Amino acid sequence: MNSTTGKKLIISGVTDLDLASTLDCGQAFRWIEQEDGSFSGVAWDRAVNVKLDGGTLTIEGADESDLAYFRNYFDLDTDYSKIKDILSAHPSLKTAIDYAPGIRILRQNNWEALSTFIITQNNNIKRIKGIVERLCTELGEPLGNGKHAYPTIERLNSATLADLEPLRAGFRARYLLDCAKKVSTGTVDLDVIPKLGTEAARAVLMTILGVGEKVADCALLFGFYRIEYCPMDVWMKRVMAEMLPDGFPDYALPYAGIAQQYLFHYARGNL
DNA sequence: AACCAGGCGCATA
DNA sequence: TATGCGCATGGT
């Protein structure tokens, strides 16, 4: 298959990771499961195939020089066992964690996360993936083998509504353009967001058309690794009402975003 | 053939 | 602050 380049990066000693529940649970939209259980996809501008055997992660298309990037992307330097122990003090959280203990929060590019979550509103995961893929095909840098990087801020900002027609994104197309405009002009400064407090960071993102509280929280959790944010979508409202009617216990609040991923995945599988 | 999808903007009170 | 409605598109 990939015999011309054949780059390969191997990371051993990986724990608390399951590729299926991490890459296909609605936090990233560019990964496709292969028949052998590996995943092919593009993380920002790196097209790779990822496979996990026991505790060994094999990344085709990357090499040793990409080690730091992928350790970071898969959040391998965070101790999830410890976080799961803390959260598991509540029986409902323990139930959700036991259902899919290998979920991790990916450290994605903040621009990619922000703009793709604009696409998720009033939409379903299957169609979201299609729109994102067409967005990359239309505006992303070619990476070879027909794959494309996620479009840069400037490239999307230079596009017109007509350029976005092939995406079939519907009413969300103009939201994408507004997002690119505000980010590229600095009205929304992605480098400043990490320095802002909970309410301020959310408020800045919500100045973008098509970004309400839920999309803002998704961008902050998945794009900025602000794990205190807990995006509340229909599934989360369902599972919270059912399993945590009194809300999160205090000790869970600093990890509410991580708890959210376990609960979201549990809800989709069981409610 | 209606109804829904990891919501949001806008109008109205 | 709190409702309610329309929204592009595609799947069931």
Protein footprint of strand B, defined by Cβ closer than 7 Å to any strand atom: A 25-27, 120-125, 127, 171, 206, 208-216, 218, 231-236, 260-261, 264
> Can you give the pLDDT at residue A6?
87
**Could you identify the residue written with the tokens 């975003």?**
A257
Strand C contacted by A174 CB (< 7 A): no
Residue A58 has pLDDT above 80, yes or no: yes
Report residue A268: phi and psi, to 5°: -65, -30
Nearest nucleotide to A218 (CA to C1') is: B6
Give the mean pLDDT of A194-218: 98
Residue A167 has pLDDT above 60, yes or no: yes
CA–CA separation, A61 and A9 (whole Å): 8
* Distance, CA of A93 to chain centre: 21
Nearest nucleotide to A123 (CA to C1') is: B5
Q: Residue A95 CA to C9 C1' — how many Å?
A: 36
Strand C contacted by A134 CB (< 7 A): no
Q: Residue A169 CA to C12 C1' — how many Å?
A: 20
CA–CA separation, A120 and A135 (whole Å): 13
Q: Residue A208 CA to B13 C1' — how many Å?
A: 26
Predicted confidence (pLDDT) per residue in A8-49, tens digit = 999 999 999 999 999 999 999 999 999 999 999 999 999 999
Nearest nucleotide to A235 (CA to C1') is: B6
Q: Which of A113, A167, A159 is nearest to A136 (CA)?
A: A167
For residue A145, name the pLDDT band (cuts at 50, 70, 90). very high
Nearest nucleotide to A172 (CA to C1') is: C8
Q: Residue A221 CA to C7 C1' — how many Å?
A: 27
Residue A233 has pLDDT above 80, yes or no: yes
Bridge partners of A110, per DSSP, are none
Of all protein residues, which has its CA closest to the C1' atom of B9? A210
